[in-house]
């Protein structure tokens, strides 16, 4: 499957059943898999009121604040303030988390991995990367305008995902390294080591 470009702002949000927010699903793999059958899933959520997180037994989760005041996440043995942008936090998807906004609405970036099937982490990078260089993955521009080998620009909120890497990876580099930031998720089947981003000299 070729690399798929996305614009987060163009993805229609799906409201939560509890009315506490909405989710923009970037990709759920494999295509067509439901919430009980995905191997990995990446999304962005907007939270504007208190309420519980849905529990996902057998799923490892990572969450990162993109913007807003953040939230307080609590459960038995868990007391975490998600209030620092671009700082990923990992937790067991089975945890019955209560979520309380720390102010106004906030937006977060989410990675969900089926335990024993896929592995990977959210990393923040500022150097060139190669989407398609890992078996699967997602990258999202956080700051600055990034450009591919053809010179096409990727502003904040734009990115790429791939589910079956094949062919030549794409080169993606910041137009200006000062202040540039990108969320990189390199994914691989659980049998292998978690891949790190492929960095290039700029």
Cβ atoms of 112 and 38 closer than 8 Å:
yes
3-state secondary structure of 21: strand
Q: Are residues 102 and 142 in the same domain?
A: no
**pLDDT at residue 201 in the model:** 44
Residue 157 Cα distances to 49, 67, 75, 106, 200, angstroms: 23, 12, 31, 15, 22
Q: Are residues 42 and 101 in the same domain?
A: yes
Q: 21-41: per-residue pLDDT in tens?
A: 899 999 999 988 888 889 999
Q: Give the length of the chain.
A: 202
Structure tokens at 137: 């993955």
Q: How confident is the model at residue 20 (pLDDT cuts 50, 70, 90)?
A: confident
Whether residue 19 has pLDDT greater than 80: no
Domain count, the chain: 2
Position 146 confidence tier, pLDDT thresholds 50, 70, 90: very high
Q: Rounded to whole angstroms, what are the CA distances from 121 to 18, 88, 178?
A: 28, 9, 24
Q: Structural domain of residue 126, as residue ranges?
A: 118-189
pLDDT band of 54, cuts 50, 70, 90: confident
The stretch 42-49 carries a mean pLDDT of 94
pLDDT band at 193 (very low <50, low <70, confident <90, very high): very low
**Residues ≥6 apart with Cβ < 8 Å to 188:** 118, 119, 120, 134, 135, 136, 194, 195
- DSSP assignment, residue 8? G
User: Is there a single domain that holds both residue 103 and residue 153?
Assistant: no
Q: Is 9 exposed, middle or buried (0-12, 13-18, 19+ CB in 10 A)?
A: exposed
Q: Where does a domain end: 114, 149, 176?
A: 114
Q: In this model, does residue 16 exceed pLDDT 90?
A: no
pTM over 0.85: yes
Span of 14-18, 36-40, 103-107 with lowest mean pLDDT: 14-18
Same-domain status, 90 and 171 = no
Instruction: Report the mean per-residue pLDDT for the chain.
Output: 90
- Which pLDDT band, with edges at 50, 70 and 90, does 1 fall under? low
Choice between 34 and 115, residue whose per-residue pLDDT is larger: 115
114, 131, 148 — which closes off a domain? 114
Does residue 176 lie in a domain region?
yes
pLDDT value of residue 198 = 47
Share above pLDDT 90 across residues of the chain, in percent, rounded to a whole number: 74
Asked if the structure places residue 202 within a domain, the reply is no
Residue 137 belongs to some domain of the structure: yes
> Could you tell me the CA-to-CA distances from 138 to 27, 94, 141, 158, 197 in Å, in that order?
9, 24, 10, 11, 11
User: How many other C-beta atoms lie within 10 A of the C-beta of residue 177?
Assistant: 12
């Amino acid at each position: 499957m070729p690399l798929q470009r996305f614009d987060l702002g163009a993805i229609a949000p799906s409201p939560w059943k509890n009315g506490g927010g909405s989710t923009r699903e970037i990709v759920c793999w494999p295509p067509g898999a439901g919430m009980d059958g995905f191997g990995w899933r990446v999304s962005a959520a907007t939270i504007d009121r208190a309420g519980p997180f849905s529990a996902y037994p057998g799923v490892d989760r990572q969450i990162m604040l993109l913007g807003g005041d953040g939230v307080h996440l609590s459960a038995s043995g868990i007391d975490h303030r998600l209030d620092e942008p671009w700082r990923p936090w990992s937790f067991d998807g089975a945890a019955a988390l209560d979520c309380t906004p720390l102010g106004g609405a906030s937006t977060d970036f989410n990675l969900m991995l089926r335990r024993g099937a896929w592995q990977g982490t959210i990393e923040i990078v500022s150097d060139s990367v190669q989407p398609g260089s890992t078996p699967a993955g997602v990258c999202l521009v956080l700051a600055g305008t990034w450009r591919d080998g053809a010179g096409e620009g990727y502003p904040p909120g734009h990115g790429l995902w791939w589910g079956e890497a094949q062919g030549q990876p794409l080169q993606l580099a910041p137009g200006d390294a000062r202040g540039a930031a990108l969320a990189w998720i390199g994914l691989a089947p659980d049998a292998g080591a978690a891949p790190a981003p492929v960095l290039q000299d700029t």
